Chain A
């Protein structure tokens, strides 16, 4: 708790002190108050609830965490995703407070808005108000309500109509030992806009604790194109509860690449809603867990409009006693004829005590669609290892190679070199010695 010099809990007194500390527009305060009321009247998810039956919440105690009221003194470093990349702008967030922000002048001149969401909620109230919580539902569950009440810092990325941002925009989020992050990320691409956003979340050290209660909203107008990359590498004792949703309109496309490497316990709801004909979405997910990590992803590809395409591929490797849960759903509304939907989750279990739950699902109301889904769970094949050993590979080299190969399909889909490199490094670091 050293990073945040406050004793405020996430209770009524804490909330009032939080509100009193802020200078925000009335509409935002009202929104927060409503969310906090909802938070107080809601229950924590029931153990038997479908989304939580595989993710035991009992180890999580909100009381252990404090409201991040002030700037912390957590030291910050450089990002992995942005290594060797010419950036269009960068926002550094430490313990839920914006510490540094920059944007190329040429982009600002074209009307690009990029900076702390907290600041921009006052400076660009119209734009923020229009989009804030338009993709994420603050009443989804108690975590969403808590986030809506207490979010702070955050990032706003706004690309005006027709503006093409060639250089990636970088969002770095850092969490101090025992600290809380409540960042809200809001990305809006107007008609025909294009951008690449690289987002990485880290802790000060690998075994750090803390709480991440973030939300991500992506709103894409017709014909816009976004590449969004998220590398989540927070400490092994951190909790993460996140809601991440994209709304993609006519002929717009999103390529969403995510790597979930960190956290002790993570529960993420991720969805893409395809709301205009011709919308296209590709999601590439990598998870690699070890120790006692528990990472749960609940994904939804929601086809609202006809003639849309969704392609979700998640690859997970589990070692030690770690566990991943992937529950995917393709939902096709009645109007969404000619839907082309694909979802797949492949798991590679590297230890007899590791576990992968993989639950693909389809919910289709239209009658002229093509939807395919699949899931595989396998262990490293001893015959593969032996074959490589017979070619001079040590057992350890053989397993590393097989694991790297397992993720290659994802790498083949990633179009940004620095992201491929960063992911490759992260995976290589993760692979244990196999004697």
Chain B
């Protein structure tokens, strides 16, 4: 089955400060898109706005998943509809075991109509699947008994996000700097896992990254460059390679208005 995530002219503010100034992006199932851009250009904001973070106000535009209005959905409905984001900085939930958290999450996402209090996936069935996925990601089984992201190292957090991605099998996944904080080996493992999951489960992937390591294993069909809250250029794999090699100077010069907006946003963020 084919799915489409379509973002049109998306405008997003934090308070009264505009961050996204008209983003257009269409992703089809099975495609990998790289989202690149200098700091403060709005990449993470796009991810959080797609998930429905209450701190980000959508002031214009639309997000449609297979024609359904995503902006009308609560965050948990977006997750249940098949949109996933691996967080750049996942939150710790002390006292809640990874396995319990994931069992509840997996049940809700697989049974989108589940009401609170209804049965979860049978424990035995869930444990078996979790164990398989963890062994595939070369994770210590002990991991499932630890509290969600509590006291995790940077690398452990990122791997936990990938484990969740593997369990929830979304239609579209946004990976927000999933490679940052990982050493070379961990990036390779994470990349392989993502490629594996993406290849097997056929997702649409939006990879937000500064590096090319993740993209080596997940070659993008499309590369988007964000600057000043807009996607200013879209190309193929070559564009990602160029940006990694030569940085954003060409982009900054080519789009002076976006560059000015970007500088303004960075200055405002620094002032906060």
- Chain A residues with CB under 8 Å of chain B are 381-384, 386-397, 401-402, 404-409
Contact = CB atoms under 8 A, between A and B. Distances in A.
Given A387-B90, A397-B116, A404 B96 contact: yes
B93 A388 contact: yes
A389 B108 CA distance: 10
A407 B75 contact: no
Contact of B93 (A389, A392, A402, A409): A402
B101 interface: yes
A384 B108 CA distance: 17
A382 B54 contact: yes
Contact of B96 (A390, A392, A395, A402): A402
Given A386-B54, A401-B96, A405-B147, A392 B108 contact: yes
B23 interface: no
Residue among A382, A405, A409 facing the most chain B CB atoms (10 A cut-off): A405
A386 B95 contact: no
Given A390-B84, A405-B93, A408-B95, 16 more contacts: A386-B54, A389-B79, A390-B75, A390-B79, A390-B87, A391-B105, A392-B80, A392-B104, A392-B105, A392-B106, A393-B104, A393-B105, A401-B93, A401-B96, A402-B96, A406-B95
Interface string B90-112: 11111110000100111111000
A391 B103 CA distance: 11
Given A387-B87, A401-B101, A401-B104, A393 B94 contact: no
Nearest to A388: B93
B95 A389 contact: no
A406 B95 CA distance: 6
Interface in B143-160: 147
A396 B75 CA distance: 12
B91 A391 contact: no
Interface of B: 51-54, 74-76, 78-80, 84-85, 87, 90-96, 101, 104-109, 116, 147, 164, 168
B4 to A, nearest CB: 21
B96 A386 contact: no
Contacts of B76: 389-390, 392-395
B54 A391 contact: no
A397 B79 contact: no
Contacts of A409: 94-95
Residue among B52, B54, B95, B108 facing the most chain A CB atoms (10 A cut-off): B95
Contacts of B168: 391-392
B53 A392 contact: no
B53 to A, nearest CB: 6
Given A396-B116, A397-B104, A397-B116, A389 B75 contact: yes
A390 B85 contact: yes
Contacts of A383: 91
Nearest to A401: B96
Nearest to B96: A405
Contacts of B96: 401-402, 404-405, 408
- Give me the 4 closest cross-chain CB pairs, A-B, nearest first: A405-B95, A408-B95, A392-B108, A389-B75
A390 B168 CA distance: 11
A402 B96 CA distance: 7
Contacts of A395: 74, 76
A391 B147 CA distance: 16
A273 B237 CA distance: 72
20 contacts: A382-B54, A387-B90, A387-B93, A389-B74, A390-B51, A390-B76, A390-B78, A390-B79, A390-B84, A390-B87, A391-B108, A391-B109, A392-B79, A392-B80, A392-B168, A395-B74, A401-B93, A402-B96, A406-B95, A408-B95
Contacts of B108: 391-394, 397
Contact of A391 (B52, B74, B94, B101): B101
Contacts of A405: 93-96, 147
A387 B89 CA distance: 10
Contact of B91 (A381, A404, A407): A381
Contacts of B87: 387, 390
A10 to B, nearest CB: 44
B164 to A, nearest CB: 7
Nearest to A381: B91
Contacts of A401: 93, 96, 101, 104
Contacts of A397: 104, 108, 116
Given A392-B105, A393-B104, A404 B79 contact: no
A135 B103 CA distance: 49
A387 B96 CA distance: 13
Given A389-B74, A391-B164, A408 B105 contact: no
A420 B106 CA distance: 26
Nearest to B90: A387
Contact of B94 (A387, A390, A408): A408
Nearest to B117: A397
Nearest to B80: A392
Contacts of A402: 93, 96
A32 B37 CA distance: 81
Contacts of B52: 389
Nearest to A406: B95
Contacts of A392: 76, 79-80, 104-109, 168
A136 to B, nearest CB: 35
B75 A386 contact: yes
A383 B148 CA distance: 14
A309 B206 CA distance: 55
A392 B73 CA distance: 12
Nearest to A387: B91
Nearest to B167: A391
Contacts of A384: 91-93
A107 to B, nearest CB: 37
A384 B54 CA distance: 12
A382 B54 CA distance: 9
